[in-house]
Amino acid sequence: MLPTLLAALQLTVPPGPTVYNARQGRTEVQVPAIESDVTVDGLLDEPAWRRAAVLTGFSVYQPVDQRPSPDSTEVLVWHSADAIFFGVRAFEPHGAVRATLADRDKVSSDDNVEIHLDTYDERNRALVFIVNALGVQADGTKSEGGGFIPGANVRPGENDLSADFTWASKGRVTADGYEVEIRIPFSSLRYPTSAVQDWGIQIQRNVQHSGYQVTWTPARKAAASFIDQEGTLVGLTGMNHGQVVQLNPELTNTATGGRAAEGDSGFDPDAPLPDWRYHNEPRLGGNVRWAMGSNFVLNGTVKPDFSQVEADATQIAADARFALFYAERRPFFVEGADQFNVPNTLVYTRRVVRPEAAVKLTGKVGRTDVAVMSALDDPGTTTDGSRPFVGIVRLRRGIGTQSTAGVLFSERSGGGRANHLGGADVHWVFGRLYYAQFQGVLSATSEDGSTTTAPMWEAVVDRTGRSYGFHYSLKGLGDGFAADNGFVQRTDIVEAGVANRYTLYGAPGALAERWNVFAHGSLLWRYDDFFAGKSLLEDQLSFMNEITVRGGWSIGLTPTIASYAFDPADYEGLYTGLLAAPTPFVPSDRIGTFTTRLSVSTPQFARFAASAGLTAGRDVDFLETSRVHRWDWDASLDLRPTPQLRVGATYRSSRFTHLADDERTQFTRIPRLRVEYQVTRSIFLRVVAQYTAAERAALRDPRTGRVLLRSAGGGAYEPSTATASNQLRADWLFSYRPTPGTVFFFGYGNTMTEPEPLRFDRLQRQADAFFLKLSYLFHALGAKD
């Protein structure tokens, strides 16, 4: 009788959740398919959550891996036909939860949880969805392909938050920590078209009071790939994506003002105040996005708004010979940007300044990524007023578990110049700890009736061990190599790099949790000199020490020695001597340098975080090849006095003085203040003010001290002159953005100058602008898959 009764009771009790404890090796998750929906309100109280799979058993990854997480985390997951759902229970017994009402993608200073979905199970690329304790969103991609980009915000293996997806999330702080409820529609994702699918998954929790990063699967530092250590959602079926068409019309108007000049129509020389003129530039354009099922997306745009609602933060070029890199932030280009990722940044979409029209197709055929883009750029980018044509084709195929091979074709033509580039690259992962990367490219540039061809090639081998790693590279760029659609700082060189890393880990509870030492050396030749066995042009050796202290403090110390020779061809057009009888300037002999970088950063405290750095020593002024004392300061302070108010302040300065007489050759100071008040999740007010004070002394001959001369044409010469600029730029913005694509922006920017730096007593307005943008995203969901 009793067994029969127990059997009857079991038939009436719904099945309980299945727990997947990753520390016990349970990393393959059978995701329940539940025909239900929930109200995304941050309360995990609907019946579907009681049947969800439970992911638990988290481990510490940063700063020391292979240890159980001190803070318990549970992630619930299930899916319906239209969406996948995640519920986060983050328990916090050791400290207060850090949660603010931040703007989208601005949750890095809060406690947050990252969901990485490798929907193609590639093991080298993932979609990233991040939520803080209140459910504020950040999203983007993570890719381990491509190459190192100097000065970029994102490097391979880091989160790129430029893309925006449409999904829902809401969270709340509880007595035990926080809970977040998440719904991600399948129509917002890309994934294969097969009936049964396996997706890679990793959950990462970032805990601010300790500075720890913990992961669901016990990820190890001794690995060539972080993504490859993910778990798996197995047997996903019955998912409907449909064909999604999004129309996004945009209306913008920019009214720019400035001082009228004599000769301008309407100039009034008798005006009591400086005559000010405004120019209105209304612009009607739009974008269309067609998700052709779950695998391909076609994007088109006509006269899009590519204006920046916030100017790029000014950088200081320590080496004045090279251009500065600024990351892409424009919506049309960031869609599917990871599929245009190429080693050595041979695709840099900010070269497309302001296209009249553009179209882009991205997707996958089997294991092959397909990415094609065409654009007609603004005629203002050419001397003859023609519209440059831009064409880029990138194909990349997965090989084995993580390795890839790709090809690239790039073209830019217009204004009497045509640049074509083609090449191939291979990224090969082997032995769990190692990868090798090879690239070969050829460019052909036609201009003024002649064509120049030149190669670029690179070979890299890397080992990522827990305590020891290395990165060895050899790269060459021939004289005349050009990538008009890319970002290449320097050509006609061969550069060898040797980097070794040693890591020591402290015992549990130790004051110093981790000590990284990077010993990095580089050797650089002119391209032909390398093959002819001639002497080096430059060499450098540095030892970077980075210590992570308990609680999230970080201390860095990097001494660097280097030496530089100077190619006279780089200084053509400079002369020395008397105006009546100048002679070509001869650069200095090889100069040795020694500098030291010291830095410290605080943890993310409840109300603030800060950092400071100092670089000092003997360096070189490349503009005149002189020996100088270098003194650089930088500091930042991030204040969060309330959950809605954020204040960010930064200061950067750089000063060079001649070693011989201590006379200042250049001096740059850039204070910047950003204040943001988040009224709701979709409304914020922002004010940004930046002052740039820059001085440059006249160039002098290091041997004689004479001011260097430049050719003025017609056999005449003129002395190099000192320059100075003191500019204050202030911008404010009102933003309403309920969803990506639907926005209302209204802003004002003002530029002022003054004769003396940072005095603020004789500021004169030079230019200003009012900016208005209104756009709405229309959705149309077609037939189901």
Q: Which two tokens stand for residue 648?
A: 């960010």
Q: Are 374 and 359 in contact (CB under 8 A)?
A: yes
By CB atoms closer than 10 A (0-12, 13-18, 19+), residue 569 is exposed
Distance CA(41)–CA(47), nearest Å, equals: 14
342-356, 539-553, 687-701, 719-733 — which is least confidently predicted? 342-356
pTM for this prediction? 0.86
Write the pLDDT tens digit of every residue in 725-758: 999 999 999 999 998 889 899 989 899 999 999 9
By CB atoms closer than 10 A (0-12, 13-18, 19+), residue 13 is exposed
345-359, 590-604, 687-701, 714-728 — which is least confidently predicted? 345-359
Asked if residue 240 has pLDDT above 70, the reply is yes
Q: Which residue has the higher pLDDT, 211 or 612?
A: 612
Choose the most confident range, by mean pLDDT, from 2-11, 116-125, 302-311: 116-125
Write the pLDDT tens digit of every residue in 391-428: 999 999 999 888 999 999 999 999 889 999 999 999 99
Q: Which helix (H) or strand (E) holds 3?
A: helix 2-12
Write the pLDDT tens digit of every residue in 301-327: 888 765 544 444 444 444 444 454 456
Q: Are 557 and 521 in contact (CB under 8 A)?
A: no
Q: Mean pLDDT over residues 358-386, rounded?
A: 87
pLDDT for 193 equals: 87
Average pLDDT, the chain: 88
Asked if residue 148 has pLDDT above 80, the reply is no
Is the preceding omega at residue 63 within 30 degrees of 0, hence cis?
yes
Q: H/E/C letters for each residue in 451-484?
A: EEEEEEEEEEEEEECCCEEEEEEEEEECCCCCCC
By CB atoms closer than 10 A (0-12, 13-18, 19+), residue 271 is exposed
Token pair 């290395």 is at which residue? 470
pLDDT for 303 equals: 80
Share of the chain above pLDDT 90, in %: 66
Write the pLDDT tens digit of every residue in 47-97: 999 999 999 999 999 999 989 999 899 999 999 999 999 999 999 988 789
pLDDT for 270 equals: 54
Strands (E), 208-292: 212-215, 231-236, 244-259, 276-292
Q: How far is C-alpha 133 from the chain's CA centre?
A: 24
Q: Mean pLDDT over residues 620-629, rounded?
A: 95
Asked if residue 163 has pLDDT above 90, the reply is no
Report which of 558, 653, 560, 553 is spatially closest to residue 611, judged by C-alpha positions.
553
Q: Mean pLDDT over residues 257-261, rounded?
A: 70
Q: Are 358 and 352 in contact (CB under 8 A)?
A: yes
Number of neighbours of residue 219 by Cβ within 10 angstroms: 24
pLDDT for 13 equals: 42
Number of neighbours of residue 549 by Cβ within 10 angstroms: 19
Rounded alpha-carbon distances, angstroms, from residue 7 to 4, 14, 18, 47: 5, 13, 21, 23
pLDDT for 156 equals: 65
132-136, 291-295, 631-635, 678-682 — which is least confidently predicted? 291-295
Q: Which two tokens stand for residue 397?
A: 């195929």
Q: Which residue has the higher pLDDT, 458 or 780?
A: 458
Bridge partners of 128? Answer: 116, 140
Going by pLDDT thresholds of 50, 70 and 90, the confidence category of residue 329 is: low
Write the pLDDT tens digit of every residue in 27-42: 999 999 999 889 999 9
67-71, 338-342, 358-362, 560-564 — which is least confidently predicted? 338-342
Residues 6+ apart with CB under 8 A from 676: 103, 645, 646, 647, 648, 684, 685, 686, 687
Cα end-to-end span (Å), the chain: 50
Distance CA(122)–CA(400), nearest Å, equals: 9
Q: Mean pLDDT over residues 209-232, rounded?
A: 93
Token pair 């995640």 is at which residue? 86
Q: Are 233 and 475 in contact (CB under 8 A)?
A: no
Write the pLDDT tens digit of every residue in 631-672: 999 999 999 999 999 999 999 999 999 998 999 999 999 999
pLDDT for 226 equals: 93
The residue count for the chain: 785
By CB atoms closer than 10 A (0-12, 13-18, 19+), residue 713 is exposed
Report which of 89, 88, 138 is spatially closest to residue 110, judged by C-alpha positions.
138
- DSSP string covering 56-123, please? E--EEEESS-SEE-SS-EEEEEEE-SSEEEEEEEEE-SSS------PPTT--TTS-EEEEEEETT--S
Q: Which two tokens stand for residue 679?
A: 């009224």
Map residue 339 onto helix, strand or coil.
Answer: helix
Report which of 354, 272, 356, 309 is spatially closest to residue 773, judged by C-alpha positions.
309
pLDDT for 314 equals: 47
- Strand duo 125-132 + 434-447: pairing: unpaired
Specify the fold of 16-236: Immunoglobulin-like (2.60.40)
Q: Mean pLDDT over residues 371-390, rounded?
A: 85
Going by pLDDT thresholds of 50, 70 and 90, the confidence category of residue 438 is: very high
Write the pLDDT tens digit of every residue in 521-535: 999 999 999 999 998
**Residue-range domain boundaries for the chain:** 16-236, 295-491, 552-670+692-728
Q: How far is C-alpha 209 from the chain's CA centre?
A: 25
CA atoms within 13 A on the CB side of 503: 18
